[in-house]
Amino acid sequence: MVYRAKAPLRVSFCGGGTDVSPYPEERGGCVLSTTIDHYAWASVSPIAEDRIAISSLDYGLHRSYPNERLPYDGELDLAKGALNHFRALLGNLPSGVEVFTHSDAPPGSGLGSSSTMVATLVGGISEWLGTNLTHYEIAETTFKIERLDVKLSGGRQDQYAAAFGGFNFIEFFADHTIVNPLRISQDTINELEYHLLLIFTGGTRTSARIVDTQTERYRHGEAEAVEGLDELKQLTMELKNLLLRNRLDDFGRLLHDAWEAKKHLAAAITNEVIDSLYGQAREMGALGGKILGAGGGGHLLIYCPVEKKHAIASQMERLGGRVVRFAFESRGLQTWRVR
């Protein structure tokens, strides 16, 4: 039997940064996000041999280990973390296992691919072992593996987006997280999709350094960082209300304000390539947009008037960006079995 899983990558409209400790514990954070039809995939295959094999198509790696707790050495650590978690939970794994992973977007793309991959692994391994985790438990387990076990810097929104899927307003507090699914009409969803461009900027980045910088600035009480996160939280609530009321052009304009606020959190959030692409889009009539994820590279989201979208898309390609086709995905993590 082979146990498979997939989970959707996410687009975060606003609030990223307010989900990074210690801000949510001290002031409460929130994000507005949705998921798209690009996925992280995992296959989990029990084997008779007493070994663990991990293959990652994204990193071009295949490694084999003894069937025991796996060391973290900077290579395939997230997959190791998922296997180590369930080994500790159950006392041991019932057999050797082969794990294969790949993602529709590269690591560092700004679409939450790392967290989504871990959620996919948690889902696939849970399906194999029959642990029957809820969506909240999958997200919380994913967070623990990434942030506490493997000790990668970052927030906690991507894990919940991957597990639940769809449009969500997610609130973060000291001792709990609340996922609020948004009741948005299909007409609004279709219209928003029609207005948006997703542009790959041509480069990926390591988000941990950017996250560490903004976290340190917040910890030291730098006014620009604290006020910037507070402003992002307020803008997230306003964007949610505009979306629910189908005020999409106002939503697009407020995305611009949110991007301006986000840039105050750390200098590395933007660069010349991002500024050039976004600046040109704005000159051609785009109402707003933002870099996705922590920033510094990856994917740029742009809200365009429909009649100008194709011209803006062509110009982004001429400037070196790549238009990425997408549709919104309402489903979160899915698992299944193959004989």
Name the active-site residue from 19, 77, 149, 158: 158
Amino acid of residue 9? L
Residue 286's contacts (CB-CB under 8 Å, 6 or more residues apart) are 252, 278, 302, 303, 304, 305, 308, 312
**Residue 329: other Cβ atoms inside 10 A:** 18
- Structural contact between residues 261 and 228, judged by C-beta atoms closer than 8 angstroms: yes
CA 68 to chain CA centroid, nearest Å: 30
Q: Annotated catalytic, 37?
A: no
What is the spatial distance between Cα 81 and Cα 311, in angstroms, rounded to a whole number?
45
Which residues are known catalytic residues? 158
